[in-house]
Structure formats: C-alpha cells, structure tokens
Amino acid sequence: KAGVTQTPRYLIKTRGQQVTLSCSPISGHRSVSWYQQTPGQGLQFLFEYFSETQRNKGNFPGRFSGRQFSNSRSEMNVSTLELGDSALYLCASSTGNEQYFGPGTRLTVT
C-alpha cells in the first residue's frame, strides 16, 4: 500500500506571498491532519479534516487554512507568509487512532 505523499517536497517563497501544499492520504484513510514542525516549537497541530469537514483546529492564525476533497486528498494554504512560517509541514492520515505521516514539505520563507 502506498504511503502518504506530499507535494512539493521543498518550497522557497518570499515574505508576503501565499503557498498551497498538497497531501494524498493512504488509500482508504478518511482523516487527514496537518502539523507544523520547527526546531523551537516541535510538532504543532494545525487542523484535522474528516470527510471534507474540519473536525479540529489548532492554535494558529487565520492565515493558515485547509480543505479536503471528496477523494480525501487535502490541501493547506498559508497566506501573507512571514519569516516565522519557515518550517517542515507534515501531513498524516488515519482510519482510527494511529496516524501515518508523509515525508513533509520543507517551506523556506525569505
């Protein structure tokens, strides 16, 4: 079974721009969660989607948003990028309690 895939793997953006990251979950998984990982803050929960509905949301500003499509694929968007948004963005899919992570998208904001 193919694992979680994320595209792109690396991205460089300029402050003020916006970015869209994509995640394809493991086949059959309907829940997709997004996390931000930085050296200083570790892994922090952004939001979770299940059957195209946001089920849970972390403590991030409204510049961070996401959505899920009918085939369970998910996208997250960050608008008006700030330098502090530089991080590894991880997507995880699950059918129940256990989450399986993708390789992440490394976003660098200059």
Partner 1 sequence: EDQVTQSPEALRLQEGESSSLNCSYTVSGLRGLFWYRQDPGKGPEFLFTLYSAGEEKEKERLKATLTKKESFLHITAPKPEDSATYLCAVQAYGNDMRFGAGTRLTVKP
Q: How far is the CB of 70 from partner 1 (least distance, A)?
A: 24
| 24 contributes a contact to partner 1 by CB under 8 A | no
Provide the minimum distance between the beta carbon of 16 and partner 1 in the complex, in angstroms, as a whole number: 27
Retrieve residue 69's tokens.
């499509």
Can you tell me whether residue 84 is helix, strand or coil?
Answer: helix
Kindly tell me which of 18 and 38 has the beta carbon lying closer to partner 1: 38
Closest CA to 88 of 14, 34, 38, 15: 38
Q: Which of 7, 16, 43, 54 binds partner 1 (CB under 8 A)?
A: 43
d(CA 96, CA 40): 29
The widest CA-to-CA distance across the chain, in whole angstroms, is 39
Nearer to partner 1 by C-beta: 33 or 68? 33
97 binds partner 1 (CB under 8 A): yes
> For 84, phi and psi rounded to 5 degrees?
-70, -5
Closest CB 59 distance from partner 1, rounded Å: 10
